[in-house]
Amino acid sequence: MEQITLYLATLCFMGSFAYTVIALVAGRVRPGWFNLAAILTGFALLSGFLYLRGQVEGSCPLNSLFDVLIFQSWALVLIYLAVGSTYRLSLLGAFTAPLAFLLLLLALVLPISRAPVPRVALNPWIEFHAALSIIAYGAFGLACVAGAMYLLQERQLKSHKASPLLYSLPPIHDLAAVTRRLIWLGFGLLTISFISGLLSQVPVNSLKFTASLVIWAAYGIILLVQRLLPLSPRRVAAWAIGIFAFALLSLPVIQHLSKQ
């Protein structure tokens, strides 16, 4: 039952992605209720999977790379659903579905253990720290998506060659604002996560802590520079994409180090 739920969720995000690609190829970009329904169904199925997984493991299901990739996909969609009705029926959902699908696909095809890892000793602060960290990365992931949409729309406007895609994207100023706000949200959540980790008084691997701190500092620098200097929305979008890509690529390393 647990695995079937995961496969069905993956199919929902794949379906949303495929629908968008077909519409783009046909020149009929109409994001709307189909994409939202597919994403909502996928989110509900993922929530069910994580609940069942948590029951088996006896803790928040974040005890393996397999768990983390699935929880990351869930957190990304959670943040998307929370950004507001203005964006739920825009291409933001169509751009979010491929990333959620990619994370689930990696969990299913990578040569990693999928066996549940029961947690014997539970520490509420560590559970809170781990879950909040992944949700923060969900905000950063959606900032990456919004940043990609910003750069795409900027390129379309500069080329003076409007395509059906251009008219379906949210206004470029709104994309710049939502990218910045999502970075602030992720940075705030990650900061609280670090504080809860310190309150747990549980020793952590120094390399794992350093890697996480580098990512936290990188987003912090973006926000600081953006406040002090006239940093263009284009650069904010590019950095949002670059830092999240680095965080995503370093995720297996961080998860491996957490086992040391």
Q: Which residues are CB-contacts of 70 (< 8 A; sequence separation ≥ 6)? A: 6, 46, 49, 50, 53, 61, 103, 104, 107
Q: Quick one: tokens of 52?
A: 């069942």
Number of other CB atoms surrounding residue 163 within 10 Å: 13
Query: Can you say how many angstroms the Cα of residue 80 is from the centroid of all Cα atoms in its chain?
Result: 9
Residue recorded with tokens 């949409």: 149
Where does 90-205 have alpha helices with state H?
91-109, 124-159, 164-168, 172-200
pLDDT number for residue 19: 84
Tell which residue, 33, 24, 36, has the closest CA to residue 164.
Answer: 24
Residue 67 to residue 252: CA distance in whole angstroms: 12
Domain boundaries, the chain: 2-257
pLDDT at 251: 74
Q: Please report the pLDDT score of residue 245 as a whole number.
A: 92
pLDDT of amino acid 95? 82
Rounded to two decimals, what is the model's pTM? 0.87
Tokens, residue 127: 């559970």
Residues 6+ apart with CB under 8 A from 20: 29, 31, 35, 91, 94, 97
Q: Alpha-carbon distance 88 to 245, whole Å?
A: 23
What is the three-class DSSP state of 238? helix
Measured from the Cβ of residue 201, the count of other Cβ atoms closer than 10 Å reads: 9
Instruction: In whole angstroms, give the CA distance from residue 82 to residue 16.
Output: 18
CA distance 10 to 97: 10
CA distance 16 to 98: 8
Residue 158 has φ and ψ, to the nearest 5°, of -70, -30
pLDDT along the chain (260 residues), means of 10: 88 88 69 80 94 87 88 93 68 83 92 80 80 92 91 81 65 87 94 87 73 90 88 91 90 62
Which amino acid does the sequence have at 43? F
What pLDDT does residue 255 have? Answer: 64
**Distance, CA of 232 to CA of 237 (rounded, Å):** 9
Read off the amino acid at residue 178: V
